[in-house]
Amino acid sequence: MAWGDIDGDGDDDLYLGGAAGDAGKLYRHDQNHELHKVNIQIFAEDDEYEDMAPLLFDADGDSDLDLFVVSGGVEYPPNDERLRDRLYWNMGQGRFIRADEGVLPDLRDAGSVAAASDFDRDGDLDLFIGARVVPGAYPLSASSRLLRNEQGRFIDVTHDEAKPLEKAGMVTSALWTDVDGNGWPDLLLTVEWGSIRFLRNDRGVFKDETVSSGLAQQTGWWNGIQGRDLDGDRDIDYVITNLGWNTPYQATVSQPEVLFYGTLPGVLDPRILEAFHEDNQLSFRRGRTCILRAMPYLVPRFPSYGSFAKSSVVDTFDETALSKLSRYQVNTSASCVLMNEGKDGFSFRPLPRIAQAAP
């Protein structure tokens, strides 16, 4: 959803994104401060798109809020027309029309989030678009994008000015924030099956400082971020949400949860394989029924539940086969506070147990 005053009456209005086959909906506040649905024809015409992340911001500098909607989901194959993001111009009083072809680059990826900021400090708002997953190929993701606003036309400058975004992973949330206090907005990203990503803005060009800042040490199922000065030292600290502790997944640094992806011996198509550490070996996270349904050729190897229980992942697939797969690891499920230590990077502090009850 997205909140914002689309008609300039002083009250915030509401856009609710729709799933594929269900158009997004706009609700405006009336004089009695009650929300009422407004019928917008172009939203109804675009009902085949899956709205993942709506964003209200002034895209053309005319002092009203336009609507940008990230498209995504896994209903459509990669590069499908219905994965294109959309921009709707606010024509005044909350009347919207779809932006012409060429205003946005023709990107057809399944996205997750959008965030606006003037990253190059030229006076207009630019866009970050987070990639979520390649449809049908979880946990692979497409490139996240940085779009520069050039007088209301958005240009993809990812390769030249934010190359680390091309392999940022499965982005779940994003925050523009001045981490180092130099007046240039930096970018923090939360990622599923990965580390929190820190891209420092060096006068309009982004450098990946995830490792140097200490963020690469903790990998998780990160899913949300907010910033505030929590310790009164005049820099911004961050609250980061994760899966929490109320889960069968008990990831630690010494015994991380593991996800493999790729083509295993005897299987034609890529598969995902979850594993965890138990008794000094890598065990299957899923049960025998699930594993054999995905890989029926293993039935002779595991004729009983007992035979399956005694086998490890390495026993089943040798190290050579596993080394050819993409490997993802998570070593913490804790939601945490990320303390900004200035030149010393960041430090992690888990939130209290009550905050770990749910993602």
Residue of 123, 121, 119, 175 whose CA lies nearest to 147: 119
Q: 343-354 burial, b if ≥16 CB within 10 A, otherwise e?
A: eebbebeebeee
CA angle 102/13/132 to nearest 5° reads 50
Domain-located, residue 74: yes
- Do 25 and 130 lie in a common domain? yes
User: CB–CB of 6/64 below 8 Å?
Assistant: yes
- Do 138 and 18 lie in a common domain? yes
d(CA 214, CA 212): 6
- Do 154 and 262 lie in a common domain? no
- Do 26 and 173 lie in a common domain? yes
- DSSP, collapsed to helix, strand or coil, labels residue 226 as strand
Q: How many domains does the chain have?
A: 2
- Do 288 and 166 lie in a common domain? no
Tokens of 173: 């949330």
DSSP 8-state assignment for residue 289:
H
- Do 165 and 58 lie in a common domain? yes
Which of 137, 156, 177 terminates a domain? The answer is 177
- Do 265 and 169 lie in a common domain? no
Which of 134, 159, 177 terminates a domain? The answer is 177
Domain-located, residue 91: yes
d(CA 269, CA 261): 10
Residue 72 pLDDT: 97
- Do 35 and 126 lie in a common domain? yes
H or E stretch covering 291 = helix 288-294
- DSSP, collapsed to helix, strand or coil, labels residue 135 as coil
The rounded Cα 149 to chain-centroid distance in angstroms is: 22
Residue 221 pLDDT: 98
- Do 143 and 283 lie in a common domain? no
Domain-located, residue 185: no
Domain-located, residue 239: no
Note the pLDDT tens digit of each residue in 207-248.
999 999 999 999 999 999 999 999 999 999 999 999 999 999
Tokens of 117: 């900021």
- Do 161 and 303 lie in a common domain? no
Q: What is the mean pLDDT of each run of 10 residues along the chain (359 residues)?
A: 93 96 94 90 96 98 96 96 98 92 97 98 98 97 98 97 98 98 98 98 98 97 98 96 95 96 87 92 95 92 94 91 95 98 94 94
Residue 94 pLDDT: 82
Domain-located, residue 348: no
- Do 12 and 156 lie in a common domain? yes
Q: Give the range of the structural domain holding residue 55, as residue numbers without chain letter.
A: 2-177
Domain-located, residue 89: yes
How many Cα atoms within 13 Å fall on the side-chain side of residue 349?
12
- Do 165 and 305 lie in a common domain? no
d(CA 116, CA 104): 14
* Concatenated DSSP letters of 43-95: HHHTTTS-EEEEEEE-SSSSSS-EEEEEE--SSS-TT-GGGB-EEEEE-STT-
Domain-located, residue 275: yes
Count Cβ atoms below 10 Å from residue 268 Cβ, excluding itself: 7
Domain-located, residue 7: yes
Residue 4 pLDDT: 96
Which of 119, 153, 177 terminates a domain? The answer is 177
